[in-house]
Amino acid sequence: MSTQKRSAVEQLDALIDGYLDDLQEISESELLADQRQIEMQRVTFDKLVKNASLEAGKRRLAHARRALVAKSSEMKPLEPIDLPEARRFIAEAANDARITLAARDLAEMPDEDVERIYRQLKELESARAPRKE
């Protein structure tokens, strides 16, 4: 036996672990000794499963609704951007020592990459804005 003093949480966890192991060791004959009780348990358990199924349905529906609301707020249309202005902005940013941009020819960069990088830089800029004060 360990002589090290265990915390209350460790003691309780060990106790629960041991109890649940014991539970699996109980023989079927011991568990099924009281037939009347066993039948009652079956009936009660079936009711619990039925109630749980109804409640689970409600929770899944509520979860789906929350997910839908979250998705619709994510899908708000983004403000259109001016691509030439975005390329100019990115070119300036590439000269900023605080920002690391992969060396690429901006002229060859696909519009969607320009748009994505521009939005990221704008987000960075707005995140930094308060510090400029």
Asked whether the beta carbons of 78 and 119 are under 8 A apart, the reply is yes
**Under rule CB under 8 A, which residues in 34-63 are in contact with another protein?**
37-38, 40-42, 44-45, 48-49, 51-53, 55-57, 59-60, 63
**Under rule CB under 8 A, which residues in 78-117 are in contact with another protein?**
none
Q: What are phi and psi of 42, to 5 degrees?
A: -60, -45
Q: 98: closest CA among 65, 73, 132, 67?
A: 132
Show Cβ contacts of residue 56 under 8 Å, excluding neighbours closer than 6 positions: none
Among 66, 104, 116, 128, binds another protein (CB under 8 A): 66
Least Cβ distance, residue 29 to another protein (angstroms): 10
Q: Is 65 in the site for another protein (CB under 8 A)?
A: no
Least Cβ distance, residue 36 to another protein (angstroms): 11
Asked whether the beta carbons of 62 and 68 are under 8 A apart, the reply is no
Whether the CA torsion 32, 36, 37, 38 is positive or negative: it is positive
Q: Residues in the site for another protein, rule: CB under 8 A?
A: 1-2, 6-9, 11-26, 28, 30-32, 37-38, 40-42, 44-45, 48-49, 51-53, 55-57, 59-60, 63, 66
